[in-house]
Amino acid sequence: MISRRALFRGAGGVALVGAGAGVVRAFDQGLLPGQGGAGLAAWDDWRLRRYQGPLALVSAGLLAASPHNTQPWHFAVGRLGVDVFEVPDRDLGAMDPFGRERLAGLGGAIHNMALAASSVGRMARVALLPDADNMRHVARIELGPEGARTAPHPLLDAVAARHTHRGPWTRTALTDAELARVRAFPTPPGLMIPIFAAASPRGQAFAAQTLEATAAIVGDAEMLADGHAWFRHSRRDLDRLKDGLGLATAGLSPGLAFAAAMLPPQSAAESARYWLAATRDTALPTASAFGMITVADPWDRRTALMAGMAWQRLHLQATAMGLVAQPLNQLPEMIDRERQLRRAPGFARAAGRLLDDPMQRPTFAFRLGRAAAPAPASVRRQVSAVIGTPARIGYDVDRARAESAAQERSLADRLRRP
C-alpha cells in the first residue's frame, strides 16, 4: 500500500512518465477493467461448475474469505467426501498469534463446502475436529448417497459473487428488516451477532475503538511486518502465488490505484500509514452498519471455526441481498496481541463496553453497507493446488466395507424369511 502524500505525488507523475508507461504498470498491477488473469481462474471454475462430485466442494471451499487472503487450507478428497486440514505456515504471525483468524478462514471454507454439496444433489454432514490425535484435521465433510435429489441451496450463486469490498460506500442506512435478514440463519448456542447502525452511539464507539486499534497496530513493527508479508506488489506475483492482497483489491479509486501503480513497492510502514488513513477516512465513515461475532472463548478452536462459518454465511446473505461487507478485525487483533504480550487487557475492556452480555467477547468485527460499484475478485489457488495425497482412502475403504457388510446382512435376513 502507499501513503497518501506519496500517492498524490505519484498521481502527478503519471502524466510525466507518459500514458504508455502508465498502461504497462496498470496492467502489471491487474488494474485494467476485465483484465482477468491466471490468479482469478478459480472463480470461473466454480461459476461454470467445472468440477463434479467431491471436487465441487473443494472448488467452492477455496473461494471462502480468509485473513489477508492467506488461504490456510489443504483438502483430501475421497469418494464419500472431503477432509479439511489447517496449514499453520500460511499464517499472519503477530497479527494472529493464536491462529484464531486462520481458523475462522477455515470455517468459511467449510461452510462453502457444506452448501456446495447441494450443487451435486447430495446432503452433507460436517464433523468439526474429528481426529483428536491430529488437530490440523479441522473438519470431515461426509456426503450423503448419490441420487438423493437434494435441491440446490439458494446461496450457491452468491459463492462466486461474494468479494470483500475495501473501498468507499454510499453511507445509505440499512433498514431493520435488512439487518434482521442478513443474520437470519441458525447459529450455534453461545454465538451472537450484534449489528448496529454506524450513526448510533454504539456504532460511534465501535468506530473510535477500531481506529484506536488500527493506530496501535501501525505502531507495532512486528505486526506490520507480518501482515505486509502477504501484500503482492505486481500482477505477476499475484498470478504466480495466487494468494495475498494487491492494489486491485485494496479499495482505491481507479485514479488513485493507477497513480499508485506508477510508484515503487511500498514499505510496511508506508503501507500502514495509508491503511490508517483509509480506515479513518473511508472504511469507518462510509459504513452503514457495524457488527461483531461474539463468543465466550474466542481462542477455542471449535468456536473459532464456527465463527468463521457464521461470517461466511452472513457475507453470502449480504451479497445475495445486494449489500457489501468487509471485516474490520483490528479490535480483536489487538485483544490477541495484548494477551500474547501479557499486557493489561485495555482493548478487551473497551470492547466489553460494546456488548450487552459481560460473558461474551468479540472474535470477529465487520462493516455492512451499500456501494456504487461491486468489489473485484481476489486471486485464489485452484483445486489442483490445494488437494494432496488421498488421505481418505483408509476411511473410505472402512466405510465401503461397513456398507457391504450391512447389505450382506440385509440380504441374508431376506433369504431367511419364509
* Spans of all domains in the chain: 4-386
Compute the distance between CA of residue 257 and CA of residue 16 in angstroms, rounded to an integer.
17
Other Cβ atoms within 10 Å of 15 Cβ, number: 9
Percent with pLDDT over 90 in the chain: 73
Confidence class for position 409, pLDDT limits 50, 70, 90 = confident
What pTM did the predictor assign? Answer: 0.87
Cβ atoms < 10 Å from Cβ of 412: 9
Q: How far apart are CA 222 and CA 416, in angstroms?
A: 73
DSSP for 121-156, written as a single string = T--EEEEES--TT-TTEEEEEEE--TT--PPPPTTH
Do the beta carbons of residue 294 and residue 192 sit within 8 Å? yes
pLDDT digits (tens, 9 = 90+) for 391-403: 565 566 666 667 6
Query: Does residue 8 carry a pLDDT above 50?
Result: no
Contacts of 246 by beta carbon, 8 Å cutoff, 6+ apart: 29, 30, 231, 232, 233, 234, 235, 237, 238, 378, 379
**How many CB atoms within 10 Å of residue 358?**
8
DSSP 83: E
Which position has the higher pLDDT, 354 or 255?
A: 354
**pLDDT tens-digit readout, 143-161:** 988 777 789 999 999 999 9
The contacts of residue 36 (CB under 8 Å, 6+ apart) are none
Answer whether residue 32 shows pLDDT above 70.
Answer: no
Classify domain 4-386 at the CATH superfamily level: NADH Oxidase (3.40.109.10)
For the cut 50, the answer to whether the pLDDT of residue 13 exceeds it is no
Model confidence at 380, pLDDT cuts 50, 70, 90, reads very high
- Please report how many Cα atoms fall inside a 13 Å half-sphere around the Cα of residue 257, on the Cβ side: 23
Match 492494489 to its residue by C-alpha cell: 247
